[in-house]
Structure formats: structure tokens, C-alpha cells
Structure 1
């Protein structure tokens, strides 16, 4: 009883957040939410956009060509994400908030420009540059919240922050259910220009973290990229790169192809085109709710069982959920309902990304933290680009969506053998 009382009293004594910390969090969260919305808009409008643009580019809009072109364009988007490592050294040099606003400006403007595309080549260029901005937002938002929030609250802050990305999925699904169905895919991309307002607010309202200001005041001009690849950090940098690569391959394989899979299953069940699109939006909303719950559940699990055991639990869950949804339910005679039910499970374990928002800042000192975060996330996106290209080729060759996506579950199994090489930081304070 006394132990329970002590824990309750400790929870009540949590360090209060000041106005700047609250404003900074909501700025980062809103940016991450709209980042998620912009990312998932492409998945939702993939089929209608390519159906219109492929014939204008000299290609027939067959299901196979749509699948292949979709994979190529998404690979370009991931390469853009990978190029986002440039934001990390900029943030370590000039501060978190200014560069965070810059990432939001970039992805918002070029997502809006995608609405003007006349062919697949223009769409690919706009998505590539938008990817550069989107990729940097997570690293800088995660770094900022970790540094700005008090030590006794930053772990849950990481979980709260990560919910924003999947709230963005839910927002994209809601927009597709309303705007997308009635006004088409171009209107969906135009909504992606809204985050410019958030970028302006961040520049005007959010102060730099004290940790960065102190580190900047006492730091010599270092080369953070060289440092994270040097003897002191080399092992944890590359292990984090591998684990993030696994997370990106699996989650994006499921998330990108999930709307197309639902549309196929809904059409097979006899639904009209617009009804199938609405069903994909509802399924995406369920996936998002599951992921938000997974993000919120993760920090308490990581605090109780440790970072490595928690990630192993989420990776194992992803392997099972991807296999159950794309490898089993997708091929059932009446597979729509079972597939959508599996999406909730897939969403929950997709919350594994929240662990990296919590864990990566704990592994690196302030002077190199943003660079390390951006580098590790970017590495995975480069590899993810290649995997998604191979995935598109496999879909084209096998004439089916389910099996190629289901095979990505194997990378999560492999990840279980990599996790023990990562440092366990449970109970440690954020290094200065």
C-alpha cells in the first residue's frame, strides 16, 4: 500500500511545464501531425492520381502500372526523406526551432504544389522535395521535446509527440472521406499547404531549449557527423540505423499499401468506387487509433521493462500483425472485415516509432543529438526506398499485393537479433 502511495505522490509531484515548454510541444506536435497527414495523403490518393497522370505520361493506367509507378514514386519520396539528414547539423549549429520551422515550410509548400502536377514526373519531383522537409521534422521535433521538457516528463512527452504523426493519418483519412471523395486528389494535396501557418507560429512563439543554448555557449565548433561515426558513438549509431531501417520498412510497407488493399477487398465485396474509397478512409482511421494507443502505451512499458525488451515486444507484434493481415486475411473469400480488424493490431504495434523518439536522444549528447537523430532516421529511409522499389517489382511479378507485403514481416524477426546490441538507457538522465 505504501509503495502505491509513494508512486501516486511522485506522479503528483511531477515538474510543471512552463508556457514556453507547452507552446513548444504543441508546435512540434502540430508540425508532426500535419507531417503525418502530408505523408499519408499520397497513400490515400495513389490510385486516383496515377489513374489520371499515367496516361498523360504515356503509360496505360493498368493496376500493374499503377502499383509499379506508385512504388517508384514512393521510393523517390523516401530518398527525399533520406536527404533530410542535412537538417541535423543545421539544427546543432543554428538551433532547433528555426530549422524545425524550415522543415515544415519545405514539406508544406511542395505538398501543395503536387496539386498542380501535369504528369507523374512533376508529381515525383514535388514528392521528393516534400520528403526532404518531412524527413527532418521528426528528428528536430523529437530532439526539441527531449531537451525542452523536464527529465521526469520527457519520456511520456516522446509518446505524446509520436501520437501526432498518426493523428495526421486520421486527419488525412477524414479529409479523404470528405474532400477527397467530392473534390478529388488535387484538393487533397492542396490541404497539405496548411502547415505553413504552424511554421510561422513556431518561429514567433517557441523559444530554444536551454540545453541547446548551454551546449552552444560552451561548445567549440565540432563536426557532429564525424563524431557520431567515430569511436565513441559508432556502434550505437549503426545499431540505431539498423533498428530504424527495420521499423521503416515494415511500417511503410503496411501503411502505404493498406488503402489499396482495402479498396481491392471492398471492390471484391461488391462495393462501388466511392464506397470503397470511404471504406479505405475508415480503415485508415482505425489503423491510426490503434497506433496512437500503441504510442501512449509504449513509454510506461519502456520505463518498467526497459527499452530493449519493449522494442522486442513491438517488433514481434509487427511480425505477427503483418502476416495476419496481408498474408492471411487478404486472401480469405470474405476478407474485408478480418483484414480491417488486423489493421488495428498492426497500428498498435506500429507505435514502435515512439520508442525511438524516447530512446535516441538518450544515446547522444546535446552537441550532436540532432545530427545523430537525423542521420539514423535518414539511413533507414534510403534502405526503405530500395525495399519499396523491390516491393513494387514483386507486386508486378506476382500479380498480387498480399504476399510481397507479408514477407516484410521477416525483417522484424531479424530485428529481434539486433536489439541486444543496442545500449539499455532505462533510468539514465538525458546526457548534456
Structure 2
């Protein structure tokens, strides 16, 4: 039977450091920005077919399924290149602070998403999506850095999981908007909704306090302002972990985005095959996206406790195996069944759960770098994978065009996770370590 002392020790361990108002406000500002970031990203996937069906003829191309697929891959690749260039936000945040630059990223992606509603050609849409990608790509790095630095040590790990749910809540929000606004008013109205994050960026700028860790680093190391943070993350101390983290994020981006971006198109094809009309097929794609999002949110919340129990590397390995299996089964098997809609959507929920692997990077990356270069490292590692993701998307588009099928090209991306499993042992295990100053 537990003694009074045992009960007091257990109670102490169970008590978490309370969050102050600034930490709560800052978290919700970062979470809202990340949610709207996810919404913005997935709006494109949901409106891809109707937008290109309208814009391709205006650009001098026939709106055949093959041309829609190829143009969609090219435009998404441009979006990923914009994401890749978003590493510029990291050095800015290390020099000028997290909150101001975070607000700037949100403002950038909101403005260019709204402008996408005015596109008259495929090329105009591509330009707007490119610049929206520059803004969207920086938001995760800065939001993740902010929460890691602002929250108390005993709460920041779970805070990473909470933060990552925002992106997939954004998927769910995009699906709900497409089910209502998109189905009623069309794809241009969906892009106009993307202007809403401007309000969040203003709130972040005016209401959220800068992190104490960044301010202390500025006081202790004022000379760092004149050093290159990009150069620092490739010095002898950080070079290996920077490269390994970039490779692991590349694997995660290739796998999840290939599945998530093409998921609505796959569901529409399966729903049409099942006898649904165009309107009902689009709504089914929204429902499937919502289920994918719910699965991913659960995966994000389940990840931090697992990472604390078995370590960062083993947790990522579990999630990578789950991603490889679910992508291969969903797109390589269920997609080709005579009545594959239900099993495909069921596998999407599983795919979504293991897609929560991104929450680990929000937890793990800040633990590998000190404050003066943390945002730069986070932004660089999350950005470099997007360049490779763009190349892969060109390849997927070409394969879809050549093979005249969507399933097999996406299923092949599961191979990327096998590469990831081989690289994981090279990453540092930071379980039980505090965030470095």
C-alpha cells in the first residue's frame, strides 16, 4: 500500500508546470497559423481538378485527365520549390526574433492564396502558389521553434504533438469548406477563404511575446548577429545531424505528400467507379480527407508519449514502417479493387495516423540545435526535403501520364521509407535531454 510520502511524490510528478498567459496566447497563435497553413496547403489538392479543368483551355491546352494530372504535378512541384526556398525565414528569425517573422510567414501565404482566386491561366496560378509556398514553408519551422522555446521543459514535448495537430485540423477545415463553400461557389471561393490568416498574422505580431530563450541568447551572444547561422549548422558540431535530419524529413515529405495530395483525386476516381455523380464524388473526397485528418491528429497526439517511452529513433521507425505499409496497400492494392472505395478510405485513416510522424520533428529538431541557430536549422531541414519532393512530383506526374493510372506511381513512394529506416540510426537520440540553450 502506498505511503503518504509515495503519494506526495507521485502527485508532484503528475503536476505539470502551469502555462502563463503569454505562453498560452503564443501557442494558440502558432497553432492557428499552422492550422490555416494546413488548410491553405490542402485547398489546392481539393480544387485541383476543377481549377485546372477551367484554366487549361484558357492557357491553350486541352483539359484531358492526363493533362490535368501532369499540370497538377508541375504546379505542385512549383509550390514545393517555394516551400524549399522558405529556409530564408530561419536566419531572419534567429536574428530578429520568432514572433515577428512568424507573423510575416502567415501574412505571405495568406495574401498569395487569396490572389490565386484571380488566376486566369495555369501559369498565373503557378506563380501565386509558388509565393504562397514560400510563406507556408516557413510557418512550421517558426511555430515549432517558438513552442519548443516558450513552453516549460516538462510540457514542450507534448506541446509539439498539440502543435502538429493544427496542420491536420487545417486539412479537416479545408475538407469542410470544400464540402460547403467549394461545392456551392467553386474553386475561386476556396482560395479567397485563404485570406483569413491575415488576421492571425496581425494577432501574432501584436499579442505574442518573444521567447525568453531567444532574448537571453541575444544578450549572452550579441556577436552572433554578425555570424552566418546557415554556415554554423554545417560546422563540425552540427554537420552530421543537419544532413541526417534533412534526409529524414525528405523521406517523410515524399511519402506523406504523395499520398495526401493525390488522395482526393483517387477518391473521386473510386467514387465515380462506384456509380456516384460528379457532385457526390467531390463530397466523398471531402469526407475521406476529413477521416484522413482525424487519423493524423490521433497519430500526432499518440507520438510524444511513445517518443518519451521508447526514444525518438524507435518511434520514427514505427511510424515509417506504418507509412510504407499503408501507402503501398492503399494505392497499390485497394485502389485497384472492383469495389475499392471503402477499403481505400479505411486505409487512409491508417495512413493518416502514421502521417503523424511529422510531430516527432517538431519535438526532435529543436533538441538537436542551440537557440542561436535553432530556427535556421529547423527551417533548412524542413525546406531541403521540399526540393527533392518537387523532383519526385515531376516524376510522379510523368509516371501517371505514361502509365495512365494514379495508384502504382503513388504506391512506389513507399520505397522512400525503407531509405529512411536505414538512415534513422545515424540520428542522435535525445530522449531525456533538455532543450539546449
TM range (shorter): over 0.9
Alignment of 1:372-411 (within 5 A): 372-411=377-416
Relative to structure 1, the CA distance from residue 197 to residue 334 in structure 2 (aligned partners, 3 Å threshold; closer, same or farther) is same
Match 2:242 to one of 234, 237, 242? 237
Q: Which residue of 1 aligns with 2:69?
A: 67
RMSD: 1.2
Given candidates 321, 324, 329, the residue that maps to 2:329 is 324
Indicate the residue corresponding to 2:127 in structure 1: 125
| Range moving further from structure 2, 74-83 or 215-224 | 215-224
2:265 aligned residue: 260
- Among 262, 270, 277, the residue aligned to 2:275: 270
Take 2:433 and 2:274, find their aligned partners in 1: how far apart are those partners? 53
Q: Which residue of 2 aligns with 1:355?
A: 360
Q: Does 1:430 align with 2:432?
A: no
Following TM superposition, by how much is the alpha carbon of 1:10 offset from its aligned partner in structure 2, in angstroms?
4.0
How far apart in 2 are the matches of 1:126 and 1:216? 36
| Secondary structure class of the residue paired with 1:61 | coil
Distance in structure 2 (CA, Å) of the matches to 1:254 and 1:371: 28
Name which of 337, 356, 370 aligns with 1:365: 370
Alignment partners' CA distance in 2, 1:133 and 1:11: 40
For the residue of structure 2 that corresponds to 1:66, the secondary structure is helix
TM alignment of 1:174-189, pairs within 5 A: 174-189=176-191
Alpha-carbon distance, 1:218 to partner: 1.6
Flag the 1:7–1:336 CA change in 2: closer, same or farther, 3 A. farther
CA distance in 1, matches of 2:9, 2:73: 49
Q: Distance in 1 between matches of 2:136 and 2:147?
A: 17
Partner of 2:44: 42
Q: Secondary structure at the match of 1:93?
A: helix
Residues 154-197 of structure 1 show CA distances to partners (whole Å, capped at 9, x for unaligned) of 00000000000000000000000000000000000000000000
Residue 12 of structure 1 and its aligned partner are, at CA, apart by 3.6
Report the equivalent of 2:419: 414
Show the counterpart of 2:294.
Answer: 289
Deviations 1:324-363 (A, max 9, x none): 1001000000000000000000000000000000000000
Q: Deviations over 1:14-59 (max 9, x none)?
A: 1000000000000000000000000000000000000000000000
Aligned to 1:173: 175
Distance 1:182 1:365, change over 3 A: same
1:306 alignment partner in structure 2: 311
Cα separation, 2, equivalents of 1:11 and 1:133: 40
Aligned partner of 1:207 in structure 2 is 209
Match of 1:15 in 2: 17
Is it true that 1:82 corresponds to 2:84 in the alignment?
Answer: yes
Please identify, of 9-18 and 267-276, the stretch whose mean Cα deviation from structure 2 is larger: 9-18
- What secondary structure is seen at the aligned counterpart in 2 of 1:60? coil
User: Shift in Å at residue 100 of structure 1?
Assistant: 0.1
Q: 1:10 to 1:312 in 2, by over 3 A?
A: farther
Q: Label 1:33 to 1:7 Cα distance change in 2 as closer, same or farther (>3 A).
A: farther
- What is the alpha-carbon distance in structure 1 between the residues aligned to residue 283 and residue 7 of structure 2? 48
Change in 2 beyond 3 A, CA 1:5/1:254: farther
C-alpha change, 1:196 and 1:329, in structure 2 (3 Å) is: same
The answer for unaligned runs of 5 or more in structure 2 is: none
Provide the rounded CA distance (Å) in 1 between the counterparts of 2:212 and 2:271: 52
Distance, in Å, in 2 between the alignment partners of 1:52 and 1:406 is 29
Distance, in Å, in 1 between the alignment partners of 2:47 and 2:2 is 55
Q: How far, CA to CA, are the matches of 2:56 and 2:49 in structure 1?
A: 10
Give the distance between the partners of 1:150 and 1:289, measured in 2 at CA: 28
- Does residue 336 of the first structure (1) align with residue 338 of the second (2)? no
Picking from 223, 247, 250, the partner of 2:252 is: 247
CA drift at 1:9: 1.8
Is the aligned partner of 1:144 residue 2:149? no
Superposition misfits of 4+ residues, deviation over 3 angstroms:
1-8
- State the SS of the aligned residue for 2:161: helix
